Amino acid sequence: MAQACYDSFDFDPHSKYCGTCKYHGPYFFEKLGMADRGYTLNRYLYATSNINLPNFFQKSKMSSIWSQHANWMGYVAVATDEEEIWRLGRRDIVIAWRGTVTYLEWIHDLKDILHPAHFRDDPSIKIESGFFDLYTTKEKSCKYCSFSARQQVLAELRRIIHRYRGENLSITITGHSLGAALALLSAYDIAEMKLNVIDDGLDFITKIPITVFSFVGPRVGNLKFKERCDELGIKVLRIINVHDKVPSVPGIIANEKFQYQKYIEEKISFPWSYAHVGVELALDHTHSPFLKNTNDIRCAHNLEAHLHLLDGYHGKCKEFRLASERDIALVNKSCDFLKDEYGVLPYWWQDEHKGMVKTSDGRWVLPERPLIEAHPPDTAHHFEQVIKYARAKLELI
């Protein structure tokens, strides 16, 4: 689900649609060859590029473009296939956040400044300011960013939960790289706002489980943030490659491995203290017989490479053996990581003719794409209900 964000994103600066999703919503999974997954796309997510992460956002070089301020950031989908629901034992809601395939310069944009979360009346819970801004900033002059990414997620989740009220539900959030940071941040927000707490009014309260699958994500917040996520019951699996440096930032000086982290946070208010959340699954690309022994950090960070490593992982010190029929050629979609003997071209993933089509008069053009709905008309209503419900729950504490 996280890889779908990359496969559908328009990275081409020569396209006026650069920064959007290439596929119209109703055909999203079909175009990606994922129609058999049993999920239906509910909505796309957008964020404003008017924040201090210039190396993350993709912008077109064309004079006429789809938006001056927005970038497509991911999607929300729901399990609708009855067999899939039966297999899972519940109706799953997926939130997938876009990250960066191999482009790591955004790391240098991080201010390494902790910002109070503001989702709870506890200023000691802090989040890296760049992630916080990306998640909460909106741009009223842009129809795609008139609601922040946060407002979009919470409103859509509230709509879905309300629609399927009475069913067994689960919330799965995933992302790679910077997308993993947004996955954890949104999971915390959902739990803090009690959006996953269902009260039937008869003293019977159920909690929708929240699970995060984080692929080589950076640290997001301080130790207090980590402790609060644990307290809220958020389950996080962090998949990393031991040769990737992204999970080591921010918080190089003070982090969860530092014996006195709690002391320096609480007693001297050390401002650069960060902690990872959840359980770590550490993979090593040198264990795969299919991959080159390279020091290229772009390869070490690649999501398809991580999915390949997961496929072959059977436990610590166990032999690397592919467990499924997952094609090893997928590794080279956007990098040059497979050994040459397998005959797979590097950087081979692209649309046919790069999306160009031939018109009836013999000209090659980039076709117009269908108008994308910015936000469902009831987004404001559902977000207001989220805030109202959270305040009511807070008053009962």
Dihedral sign (CA 180, 133, 264, 230): negative
81 is catalytic: no
- CA 332 to centroid of chain Cα atoms: 21
- CA 367 to centroid of chain Cα atoms: 29
To the nearest 10 degrees (0 to 180), the angle between helices 129-136 and 149-163 is 60
Spatial separation of the C-alpha atoms in residues 251 and 269, rounded to whole Å: 14
Among residues 7, 10, 133, 244, which one is catalytic? 244
Spatial separation of the C-alpha atoms in residues 142 and 8, rounded to whole Å: 22
How many angstroms separate the Cα of 353 from the Cα of each of 13, 307, 367? 16, 27, 12
Hunting for tokens 């990581």 — which residue is that?
A: 337
Hunting for tokens 């610590």 — which residue is that?
A: 316
State both tokens at 175: 């992302």
Task: Write out the DSSP string of 320-348.
Answer: P---S---GGGGGSSS--B-GGG---TT-
Residue in 174, 167, 180 with CA at minimum distance from that of residue 99: 180
∠ Cα 9 81 161 (to 5°) = 80
Hunting for tokens 């909505």 — which residue is that?
A: 43
60 is catalytic: no
Among residues 69, 176, 301, 308, which one is catalytic? 301
Asked if omega into 250 is within 30° of 0 (cis), the reply is yes
Among residues 177, 214, 273, 288, which one is catalytic? 177
DSSP state of 84: H
Region of residue 89 (left: phi > 0; alpha: psi -120 to 50; beta: else): left
Spatial separation of the C-alpha atoms in residues 178 and 55, rounded to whole Å: 12
69 is catalytic: no
Cα separation of the two ends of the chain: 37
DSSP state of 32: T
Check: CB of residue 148 under 8 Å from CB of residue 182: no
Catalytic residues: 177, 244, 301
